[in-house]
Structure 1
Amino acid sequence: MKFTEFLKSKGATAALFMGIFYAVCMLGIFLPGYTAIPGNIDQLQIAIINDDKGEAGAQIADSLAEQLPFKEIKTDISNNAALEQLEENELALVIHIPETFSTDLQKGEVSSSIDFTLNEAGATVVASSMNQIVSQINAQLSAQFSQQTAQGILMNVNVPEEQAKEMAQKIENSYVGNIVTINDMPDGMHNNMLPMFLTMALYVGAMIASMQLVGAFKANRGKATKTRLFIYVQLTAIIIGIVAGLVSAGIAVGINDLSGELFFQIWGQQVLNYWTCFNFTAIVVFLIGEAGMILNIPILLVQTIANGATIPREMMYAPYEWASYISPMYYSVQAYFANIFGSVSVSPYLIGLGVVGLVAMLINILIVWFLHKPLPVAEV
């Protein structure tokens, strides 16, 4: 057999096709998707709450509203309400100018401070971007107020040494930016990416299992009714989810040093995650057979952006945002952010994950019912 003949064989041509196809898919999906960083940072919402009764607070609030690169900045909201929305990741940053800001500034006896509150239990790019923006704001305000303080208190040139030291300290400490982090995430990239890694670990396994279990379903046609075989497939997926969920939860708790209470919560979600992902990826396999895996890979790649681990929904381009509403990975990742690092209810995300799984299973039932013709069952 000549090499040219080998290249024309089914296996070689298929390998060539897959190499080109997945290179195009990965680059064509990832590169456009990640151009949203930092281009779509203006799509995030923040709140500026000015409780200061003096002029300084109003000037700062107006100046920040004009200069900050966000299309929607909430100002007609209380600080408590804004913090609640921050917990839900509806806001990316809350800037609060306290009631005594102008008074403290005028007295010069205490540092005037502004509170910048951000939530780390969410998309990675949000926390990092907000930290950078807050650092820039604080640097500008510190320089501005130090200059104003200097003009006010150094008008006398002949001052004693001790008094000069006090004045210098007042200049240096005239403004301090108070950065508050809620749901503080432990250091380490393994913590930031844990929600995505937990989800993907079972999604990939479920995707491969969809090909194998649907193949077993087809191979055993005639040995049992298609209804019974479908039930067997579902039960097998649940059993695999229980075992794989147990292993993955144990690894996550051990490596990330999580509390023992989280073990069973992660395990339970992993079981639901596996079953949902299995039915979600099995749709195209039930429809077109093993060739469905060719479509499942691009669908997976889209979800790695649409799951909200790195980019929040507000920053996604339309196709990725639309995908997030039907993506099992999105609901799973957000549930883990809320459960492991956050303080909000995990129920809406788990319900969303369960609904995606139920709808996917119903679609699979319809495919099996209408497209897979019943075969006579051989008597044993």
Structure 2
Amino acid sequence: MKFKKFITSRGPLLATLVTLLYGILVFAIYFFGYHAMPTNVDKLPITIVNQDTHSKTIARQLKKNLPFDTINETKNLSQAKTDLDQRTTYLIIDIPRDFAKKASQNRSAQLHFYINDSNQSTVTAAMKSTAQSVAASLNKKISTQKAVIQIAAPKLKTLKRNLLKQEQQAQLEIAQAKQQIATSPAAMQPKLTAQLKQKVAGQKLATRKKAQQQEKQIIAQAKAQAKPTKEAVSEQLHRQHKLPTGINYAMAPFFAILALYLGTMMASLTLYGTYAKFAKEIGRFKSFINLEITYILVAAFSTLITSFITMKFVNVPTTNFMNLWLVHFLLVCASFNFTGIFYFLLGQIGAVINVIITMLQIVAGAGMMPVVTMNPFFKAIHYIIPLYYGILGDYTNFYGGPSITTAVLGLAAIYIITLLISLIIVTIMKKQPMLKFEEIS
């Protein structure tokens, strides 16, 4: 009977509800959040750089056949590389000078591909796959064309020689006919001349049609017999900000920021308990000021150590340490206040909300896939979450990329805004909703 009373009390019922809620909600977040990959890979912008004036047709065919919504075209490879570094384009297909000339000769033409390894692993994998596919497709097409030309060339040469003989024979017959007309009565000559012209025009048209049909037949037969010759197009993959081998390196920025955020979320709950305790003794505003100072001190000290250790694991250049520490320091400060909002509002039960928001951030933080490929909901919320700016900054700090200014300003803005929101809540709520777990069980 005691077990029945225990199992039917509020604690087990609440545990069942939380288990169900998380089991369904977390699955739904990830299932719908990552549905965008790989179906939304076509949203990634790429660039075609055509440096060969004779390869306009190839560039046009590439643009038509590639499965991307945004394909930029330029002749400036240097600018395209800058865009790749800034992550405003994700793949460069470079058609070098003399590409068409080499492809038409018995020489291998090289197509250059540029990717930026300082991106999500899903992006780099998709771009490598695209590069291989494009090179293979062009190679098959051009080498097959060469084979067709090699097979058809002798027959086309013979056809051309026969046409020349027919034209010479026709010219001889026309000359003889003109001589006969000249010996005819003057009154009949205009009519005979007109008939001759009509006959000659008809013969030329018939000869031309027959020649075109024979040419088509020769080419069709050559295509049926043709097999790709030796490699006509080879690919040269250039990796900007090349990463060490291993998925752990590709995921390192995501892991580093997520680890800091999770630690901060748990520490925030502990510090909230300290705040609530001292709010009764020294007043909530003094306790809040002490809490914010503690946030800064804990963030500064902890991130000095974690940033140094992370730097050694990932082999980040020592010169990047201050930038790495700055991003991590601002992330922890912003995360303390970001997660603290729900503790001020709901007490310890705010941890439930924080866990759900963390799940949302894992998708919207762009650690697994870029923002441009996300579903509208996650694309909308990524601006207001700490994880996004932290991961953005760490990709640059670890492997290179654009300035960390965007990441720093984003984290600083979140820190200031959440601090003000927390202050407003402290001002309004005179008593903290601290839970006594024995009372809700």
Which amino acid letter does the alignment assign opposite residue 348 of structure 1?
T
Mark the structure with the bigger radius of gyration: 2
How far off its partner does 1:174 sit? 2.5
Q: Which residue of 1 aligns with 2:396?
A: 338
Q: Identity of aligned pairs, percent?
A: 27
TM (norm. structure 1) is 0.88
Query: How big is the shift at 1:104?
Result: 2.1
| Among candidates 100, 103, 106, match of residue 102 of structure 1 | 100
1:124 partner letter: S
CA contact (8 A) 2:316 2:399 kept: no
Partners of 1:372 and 1:312 lie apart in 2 by 42
Task: Select which of 63, 66, 81 maps to 1:65.
Answer: 63
What is the letter of the counterpart of residue 309 of structure 2? I
Structure 1 counterpart of 2:4, one-letter code: T
CA contact (8 A) 2:342 2:353 kept: yes
Secondary structure of the 1:250 match is helix
Q: Distance in 2 between matches of 1:300 and 1:124?
A: 21
The answer to whether 1:257 aligns with 2:315 is yes
3-state DSSP class of the match of 2:47? strand
Correspondence for 1:40: 40
Deviations 1:89-138 (A, max 9, x none): 111211121232112223434x2122211111112211111111111111
1:175 deviates by 1.4
Deviations 1:313-364 (A, max 9, x none): 1110011111110011000001011121123211121111111111111111
Contact 1:307 / 1:333 at 8 angstroms: preserved in 2? yes
Map 1:40-189 → 2, pairs under 5 A: 40-54=40-54, 57-75=55-73, 78-109=76-107, 111-152=108-149, 171-189=229-247
Q: Say which is worse superposed, 213-222 or 318-327, in terms of deviation.
A: 213-222
Q: Select 1:209's aligned residue among 252, 256, 267.
A: 267
Distance 2:331 2:254 in 1: 12
Which residue identity is paired with 2:419? M
Corresponding residue SS for 2:119: coil
Corresponding letter in the other structure for 1:267: W
The aligned residue for residue 284 of structure 1 is 342
Whole-angstrom distance in 2 between the partners of 1:72 and 1:248 = 40
Q: Is the 8 A contact 1:145 1:174 kept in 2?
A: yes
How far, CA to CA, are the matches of 1:4 and 1:117 in structure 2?
Answer: 66
TM-score, length-scaled by structure 2: 0.77
Query: For 2:299 and 2:95, how far apart are their aligned partners in 1?
Result: 49
CA distance in 2, matches of 1:14, 1:238: 35
Which of 244, 247, 266 aligns to 2:305? It is 247
Query: Quick one: distance in 2 between partners of 1:209 and 1:254?
Result: 25
CA distance in 2: counterparts of 1:284 and 1:146, whole angstroms: 64
In structure 2, relative to structure 1, the CA distance for the partners of 1:81 and 1:372 (3 Å cut) is farther
Q: Could you tell me whether the CA contact under 8 Å between 1:190 and 1:256 is conserved in 2?
A: no
**Corresponding residue for residue 31 of structure 1:** 31
Superimposed CA distance per residue, residues 265-288 of structure 1 (whole angstroms, 9 cap, x where no aligned partner): 323322221111111111111112
Tell me whether 1:297 sits opposite 2:364 in the alignment. no
**Aligned ranges for residues 298-377 of structure 1 at < 5 Å?**
298-372=356-430
What letter is aligned with 2:115?
A: L
Task: Identify which range, 330-339 or 226-235, moves more after superposition.
Answer: 226-235
Question: Contact (CA 8 Å) 1:313, 1:321: kept in 2 or not?
Answer: yes
TM-fit CA distance, 1:152: 4.4
Partner of 2:219: none
The answer to whether residue 253 in structure 2 is matched with residue 195 in structure 1 is yes
Gaps of 5+ in 2: 155-227, 433-441
Offset of 1:232 from its aligned partner? 1.1
State whether residues 279 and 286 of structure 2, in contact with CA within 8 Å, keep that contact through their aligned partners in structure 1: no
- Equivalent position amino acid for 1:185 in 2: L
Q: Which residue number corresponds to residue 182 of structure 2? A: none
**3-state DSSP class of the match of 1:193?**
helix
**Deviation of residue 76 (structure 1)?**
5.1
Aligned partner of residue 281 in structure 2, secondary structure: coil
Which residue number corresponds to residue 2 of structure 2?
Answer: 2
Q: Partners in 2 of 1:8 and 1:264 — Cα distance?
A: 55
Aligned-pair CA distance for 1:10: 3.1
The residue that corresponds to 1:14 in the other structure is 14
Cα distance in 2 between the residues matched to 1:276 and 1:83: 33
Give the equivalent residue in structure 1 for 2:223.
none
Are 2:143 and 2:229, in contact at CA under 8 Å, matched by a contact in 1? Answer: yes
Instruction: Measure, in 2, the Cα distance between the counterparts of 1:4 and 1:91.
Output: 62
Which of 271, 288, 296 is 1:238 aligned to?
296
Q: SS in structure 1 opposite 2:367?
A: coil
Note the alpha carbon deviations across 1:167-195, whole angstroms, 9 max, x for none: xxx95242112211111111112211111
Separation of aligned partners in 2, 1:87 and 1:262:
17
Measured in 2, the distance between the counterparts of 1:178 and 1:153 equals: 27
Distance in 1 (alpha carbons) for counterparts of 2:332 and 2:386: 10
2:214 corresponds in structure 1 to: none
How well do the aligned residues superpose, as a CA RMSD in angstroms? 2.2
Equivalent-residue separation in structure 1 for 2:149 and 2:303 (angstroms): 65
The answer to whether the 8 Å contact 1:339/1:345 transfers is: no
Amino acid of the residue matched to residue 329 of structure 2?
Answer: V
Instruction: Tell me the CA shift for residue 153 of structure 1.
Output: 5.4
Larger helix proportion of the pair: 2
**Greater Cα shift, 285-294 or 326-335:** 285-294
Q: How much does 1:373 deviate?
A: 6.1
Q: Which residue of 1 aligns with 2:326?
A: 268
Q: Secondary structure at the match of 2:280?
A: coil
